[in-house]
Structure formats: structure tokens, C-alpha cells
Amino acid sequence: MSSRIVLIMLVAVVFLGSCRKRKVRKQAEVDEVVITDYLRENNIDATATGSGLYYIIDSIGTGAYPTADGSVTAYYKGYFIDGDVFDQSPGSGSNFSLRSVIPGWTEGLQLFPEGSTGRLFIPSHLGYGLDDYGDIPGGSVLIFDIELLDVL
């Protein structure tokens, strides 16, 4: 392959990556408005993190905090801003590693000590991003009701 073709391909990759980053930043701005409007309209006082994640802890537990490399058992219900549920754990909860979940979960669950209940408001860049994921449309803000049952 000639160096000219390689250069053109490199420029194209950089350009496409730059466009994607702009789209993600723009979507993050939109998500921030969607989340803050939802919180205001529903009179919810949530705490913001620097990443764009918002959370509330309704009942704080007394157990250990999970780590990003740890595993937990949690009950959860995931839904969209309009209230439509897209996922829910069984009544006994689900076990999972925080390394294998969306970034909003990895960040958010570390704020909950074992035994806590609360809610995560996750912008799309900390969820499934700009692309569709199963029944979750790209660019979706996600809300999760959480009960952290066990830190493993």
C-alpha cells in the first residue's frame, strides 16, 4: 500500500473519530438537560458527579462499598425517562462484576454501601452510547432503581 493511501486512511480515521467525539459531547449536553429537567419536573433532589451521572440514596446501608474491580448482588429496575421499563432483575437480585456493566453502573454503585437503596440517572455516554443496544435506542438516558443486596 502506498504511503499516500495510508495517509488518506489515517486522515479519514482521525476525521471520523473527531466527528464521533463531537456527537458524543453534543449528546452529553442534551442528556444533561433531559436529566435536570426530569429531576426538576419530578421534584427530585439528586447529587451530580463530575461525569454527568446523577444519583440519590434513599436508604443508606451500613455494609462495605463495592470497588470498580469487585462484584455485587443487586436488585434493579431499569427504565427510560418516560417510565417504560426495559430491564429488571429477578426478585432475588442478580450477581455481576462491576467490570462487566455499563460505566454508569460501575461509577454509581461504588457510591452505595451494601444495604443501600436509591436511583441512578445515567446519561447515554455512561450507558450504551449513541448506538442502539437491543431494545435501548442509542442516545438514551437510563434510570435505575437499585437495591445493593451484597458486596461480594
Q: Which stretch of DSSP H or E encloses residue 149?
A: strand 142-151
pLDDT of residue 12: 41
pLDDT digits (tens, 9 = 90+) for 38-58: 999 999 999 999 999 999 999
Q: What is the pTM of this model?
A: 0.86
Domain chopping of the chain, boundaries? 3-151
pLDDT digits (tens, 9 = 90+) for 132-151: 999 999 999 999 999 999 99
pLDDT digits (tens, 9 = 90+) for 115-135: 999 999 999 999 999 999 999
pLDDT digits (tens, 9 = 90+) for 55-69: 999 999 999 999 999
pLDDT digits (tens, 9 = 90+) for 12-34: 444 444 566 788 788 889 999 99
Residue 25 neighbours by CB under 8 Å, 6+ apart: none
Assigned CATH topology for domain 3-151:
Chitinase A; domain 3 (3.10.50)
pLDDT digits (tens, 9 = 90+) for 61-96: 999 999 999 999 999 999 999 999 999 999 889 999
CA distance 146 to 143: 10
Residue 63 has phi, psi (to 5 degrees) of: -85, -170
